[in-house]
Structure 1
Amino acid sequence: MKNPIILKSFILCLLIGSFLFLSLQTHHKTLTLTLKPQPSNDLRIRPGYSSYEAYINHQLDKTLNPKLRKIWTTRDWDRKIDVFSSFFQTLKDENLISNESKALCIGARIGQEVEALRRIGVSDSVGLDLVPFPPLVIEGDFHAQPFGNGTFDFEFSNVFDHALYPLRFVGEIERTLKQGGVCVLHVAVSRRSDKYSANDLFSVKPLVEMFRESEMVHVRKVDGFGLDTEIVFRKKNKKKRMS
């Protein structure tokens, strides 16, 4: 006959183990849903990535491509700076950015956007990309910006389509923007982006829904290197509580 004490201990351990397993599974599912929401009809996440590392490596294939980097630093350098300068000057004329603004360009690669901002007088500007390009671009992941809360007055990006986790991408922008700060996105709505895109956007509605702490300033058509729509948000000022 089996020892009843050993049998009770075995059953107790089995129950505890089952409880912990179910708890971990539940936590994992919650985390996954938080990071990567189910795609809607107007925002679809592209499948095919076996891991986040695989996604990063795919992005690096483009960023580190020697032929592309040569084009970006030679033939495209002045042309892109001129176009970005025109975009930013318009925003400056509309008082959405000023010479005193602290600005961030997300997914800046070799920093033409940063150089354009500096040329129109916004000297405190920096770019963020997976591969640094000193002195214009520092290394970082736009899903987890290496900056403190409320760092910037202005943030610009034309790589929203490269975000595997759009909510994290937007959340990091709103976290690092100051209250009253402005975010400008150039996105593709009427056309599909290249093979390095991680999502496809079919209207601006998902962006409006994701920018929970901001108000939309305007939406307008642009011609920005394959991107057709500019959408501008301003982070809301939180009201101070009455004491």
Structure 2
Amino acid sequence: MKDVANQSRSIIPKCYFLSFILSLSFLIFLSLKSTILMNKPITGPTVNDDVSGSTIVIRSGYTSYDNYIQHQLRKTNNPKLRKIWTTRDWDRKIRVFTQFFMDLKHKNLLSNSSKALCVGARVGQEVEALKRVGVWDSIGLDLVPYPPLVIQGDFHSQPFDKETFDFEFSNVFDHALYPKKFVGEIQRTLKAGGICVLHVAVSRRSDKYSANDLFSLEPLIKLFNGSELIYSRKVDGFGLDTEIVFRKKNTIQWL
């Protein structure tokens, strides 16, 4: 009986030890799984499935197009943000955009005679900057108008005739729910030989109002199938890190 009791006492610590090891292993497994999920890229329907390893990803969660529009309007109509855009950020952004546009003028991609459109201009700092460098025939387009610099419109369906503009600029490509339509409207409304300049972030975006995430320039270049790539370069554009410039071809293959 004493031997049996001794054996029982020796088994109990082993059971506790085994239980501890199994519990610890399970906790480590859960931790690793959580880390993997946290670092997993945002999933959703991809654009340009014919591009190997497509690197434009549409964010999920929109139940309808109206739902997407209302989500964007919550940012554009936010009174605190609009106050910041028109006060604290106003001069700073105009100063930076003025430098961007002067550089484009020096490269002969923009001139005083250009008819220019800023797509997704919010309160129109970009438009004001264009006027300050001498491009007077400039207007902005956004869901919420800001007269006289910005008129109301949806960049998925621009309210302009084809071949209206010599120059189009946008830094809101990441807000496009339908990147193909976004690009298609730019190419439709640009004149033959017209210039499009985009500022984009080639990285995962943290902005909760972004509708897509861009991880490479290749699929974006492919979307501009009626234009030629002039150049791309690194910039510091208020969270956007890349400037990419296209010229519309004289003969365009419509998207």
TM-based fold match above 0.5: yes
Q: What stretches of structure 2 of length at least 5 have no aligned partner?
A: 1-44
Partner of 2:116: 103
Alignment partner of 1:71 out of 81, 84, 89:
84
The answer (yes or no) to whether the contact 2:142–2:154 under 8 Å persists in 1 is: yes
Distance 2:142 2:215 in 1: 25
Kindly state the Cα deviation for residue 237 of structure 1 after the two structures are TM-superposed.
Answer: 1.4
AA partner of residue 151 (structure 2): I
Q: What stretches of structure 1 of length at least 5 have no aligned partner?
A: 1-32
Partner of 1:50: 63
Distance 1:50 1:124 in 2: 38
Kindly state the Cα deviation for residue 41 of structure 1 after the two structures are TM-superposed.
Answer: 2.9
Partner of 1:145: 158
Kindly state the Cα deviation for residue 190 of structure 1 after the two structures are TM-superposed.
Answer: 3.2
AA partner of residue 91 (structure 2): D
Alignment partner of 1:126 out of 94, 119, 139:
139
Partner of 1:211: 224
Q: What SS is found at the alignment partner of 2:105? A: helix
The answer (yes or no) to whether the contact 1:193–1:226 under 8 Å persists in 2 is: no
AA partner of residue 89 (structure 1): M
Q: What SS is found at the alignment partner of 2:228? A: strand
AA partner of residue 109 (structure 1): R
Kindly state the Cα deviation for residue 191 of structure 1 after the two structures are TM-superposed.
Answer: 4.4
Residue-by-residue CA offset, 1:21-67 (whole Å, 9 max, x unaligned): xxxxxxxxxxxx9xx76596310000000000000000000000000
The answer (yes or no) to whether the contact 2:58–2:213 under 8 Å persists in 1 is: yes
The answer (yes or no) to whether the contact 1:104–1:128 under 8 Å persists in 2 is: yes
Residue-by-residue CA offset, 1:189-219 (whole Å, 9 max, x unaligned): 0342400000000010011100011000000
The answer (yes or no) to whether the contact 2:48–2:219 under 8 Å persists in 1 is: no
Kindly state the Cα deviation for residue 114 of structure 1 after the two structures are TM-superposed.
Answer: 0.1
Partner of 1:171: 184
Distance 1:130 1:238 in 2: 31
Alignment partner of 1:160 out of 170, 173, 190:
173
TM-score normalised per structure 1: 0.82
Distance 1:141 1:203 in 2: 25
Alignment partner of 2:127 out of 114, 117, 135:
114
The answer (yes or no) to whether the contact 2:114–2:135 under 8 Å persists in 1 is: yes
Alignment partner of 1:87 out of 97, 100, 113:
100
Distance 2:73 2:250 in 1: 37
AA partner of residue 49 (structure 1): Y
The answer (yes or no) to whether the contact 1:46–1:200 under 8 Å persists in 2 is: yes
Distance 1:193 1:115 in 2: 28
Distance 1:237 1:125 in 2: 23
Moved more, 167-176 or 190-199: 190-199
The answer (yes or no) to whether the contact 1:42–1:202 under 8 Å persists in 2 is: yes
Count of matched residue positions in the alignment of Structure 1 and Structure 2: 206
The answer to whether structure 1 residue 202 and structure 2 residue 211 are counterparts is no
Distance 1:53 1:210 in 2: 24
